[in-house]
Amino acid sequence: MAEPRLVEDYHPATADLRKIADPIVFWDETLRDGEQTPGVHFSPEEKLRVATLLSDIGISVVNAGIPVVSEEEARAVRLLAAAGLRAKILAAARTVPADIDAVIKSGATHIAIFVAASQVHLRYKLRMTQDEVRAASLKSVRQAKDAGLHVAFVTEDTVRAPFDFVERLYREVQEAGADRLVVADTVGIMTPLTFRWYLTEFQRRVRPKDLSVHCHNDFGLAAANTLTAIECGVRAPHVCVNGLGERAGNASLEEVVVELEALYGVRTGIRTERLTELSRLVEELSGVPVAANKALVGYNAFSHEAGIHTHGILANTLTYEPLQPETVGQHRHMILGKHTGKAAVVEKLKERGLTAPDPLLLELLQRIKTETEARSKDDLRRFLEEYRHLFERPGLSDEEFWAMVDAVGIGTVAS
């Protein structure tokens, strides 16, 4: 097999690398936004396992959760904060004094203070005016800074809020002491071109000391938009393992990291060879299966069946693979099936030191094709039906909910 060359030999980065921050501060949201994936729950001990591996591979900031949510959530943040990890442990809070106090008591060194910014959120969710949001934000930032915390200020739905309001709010919270400003594309409506314009204008108007982005994947653009932000000089991109998160999820950690490494030639400091290990751990603990065709860490990401593909791979892996599977802790698989060609069979026989003349190879190849085409799809259909049922209605079933209603006696209270 010919020695493959690096992907950069074929695909030089075209972005202006002078604008890319050094170092990039990867801010992982798996244990907060990732846990908000419908039906997902991590115990404090499970959060520690994930955070430890995130820290070990080089992630800079780990959002442990929102400690005011529950005592178990608060215990999880305390557990991570006391674990002595290299990653900075961050906890999130609304612009509410009790939320800030909960983070202070948790032992986390970093806080993300969040509030909604768009008109639809202010009118229908918060029922607050812009002035009320500004006042609550400034008070919260000062409270956290007085406690000695590193403060990131986040607005939900930043990109759909009036720009004049965004500019004023972010300028004021930065003057009040916010260390890092976070722009959020909460419903994933940005495209790389529009996001580039938005972030350029935001930086021109606000002049942030340290800028971060939080991109959602509703239209499948979270990773692309995050890369665009990094090209614009954003220092702290938010990422989630396996692209977990609300609805369609967030920018995928493994995709953003490896795209920077392989396509831009940026050394991230992340131990990419452990990304598949991390992906499998989060898959196991979250209960959300990784799609077979998921980029880089999917089970088929480095699998080949078609004859023309396997023939090319056997000659030089770069014919149909942009990078070596070991780069992300994966392995290459040659799948024997309907589309298999003779080259794959010859290679498979080598595992036992066997060779065969063409007539026998062709007979074996025909048997492989006939067998795989004849297999029943009933087992696959049953699996898909169970999978769909599980994720169509995650969380409590209606029966469980109404049993709880009866248990607390709501039905016996007069209306």
Q: Are strands 27-28 and 236-239 parallel, antiparallel or unpaired?
A: parallel
Query: Which one-letter amino acid corresponds to residue 391?
Result: F
pLDDT value at position 14?
53
Comparison of pLDDT for 347 and 215, the residue scoring more: 215
Token output for 109: 């060194």
Q: How far is CA 40 from the centre of its chain?
A: 14
Q: What is the pLDDT of residues 123-171, one digit of tens each?
A: 999 999 999 999 999 999 999 999 999 999 999 999 999 999 999 999 9
Query: Which one-letter amino acid corresponds to residue 295?
Result: A
Comparison of pLDDT for 307 and 161, the residue scoring more: 161
pLDDT-derived band at 3 (thresholds 50, 70, 90) equals: very low
pLDDT value at position 414?
53
| pLDDT surpasses 70 at 297 | yes
pLDDT value at position 152?
98
Token output for 277: 């290990």
Share of the chain above pLDDT 90, in %: 70
pLDDT-derived band at 7 (thresholds 50, 70, 90) equals: very low
Give the mean model confidence (pLDDT) for residues 271-288.
Answer: 97
Residue 261: C-alpha distances to residues 267, 293, 323 (Å): 6, 21, 11
pLDDT value at position 411?
74
Of residues 69, 90, 87, 28, the one with CA closest to residue 214: 28
Token output for 94: 């609304």
Q: What is the rounded average pLDDT for all residues in the chain? A: 91
Residue 58 gets the label, from left (phi > 0), alpha (psi -120 to 50) or beta, of: left
User: Residue 128 in 3-state DSSP?
Assistant: coil
| pLDDT surpasses 90 at 199 | yes
* Pairwise CA distance, residues 44 & 78, whole Å: 9
Q: What is the pLDDT of residues 25-76, one digit of tens each?
A: 999 999 999 999 998 999 999 999 999 999 999 999 999 999 999 999 999 9
pLDDT value at position 378?
81
Comparison of pLDDT for 2 and 256, the residue scoring more: 256
Q: What count of Cα atoms within 13 Å lies in the side-chain half-sphere of residue 159?
A: 21
Token output for 241: 């393992």
pLDDT-derived band at 249 (thresholds 50, 70, 90) equals: very high
* Pairwise CA distance, residues 83 & 88, whole Å: 11
| pLDDT surpasses 70 at 8 | no
pLDDT value at position 319?
77
Helices 71-81 + 97-106 axis angle, to 10: 40
Q: Which of 96-100, 170-174, 313-317 has the lowest mean pLDDT?
A: 313-317
| pLDDT surpasses 90 at 321 | no
CB 297 within 8 A of CB 279: yes
CATH classification number, 15-286, choose in 3.90.1310.10, 3.40.50.970, 3.30.70.890, 3.20.20.70? 3.20.20.70
Of residues 135, 86, 133, 89, the one with CA closest to residue 112: 89
* Pairwise CA distance, residues 238 & 242, whole Å: 13
Token output for 326: 């070991």
* Pairwise CA distance, residues 65 & 48, whole Å: 12
DSSP 137: H
* Pairwise CA distance, residues 336 & 318, whole Å: 21
Share of the chain above pLDDT 70, in %: 93
pLDDT value at position 175?
98
pTM greater than 0.95 (yes/no): no
pLDDT-derived band at 367 (thresholds 50, 70, 90) equals: confident
Token output for 399: 């029966």
All CATH 3.20.20.70 domain ranges in the chain, comma separated = 15-286
Q: Which residues have C-beta within 8 Å of that of residue 55, sequence separation ≥ 6? A: 62, 85, 86, 87
Residue found by looking up tokens 């403060």 in the block: 151
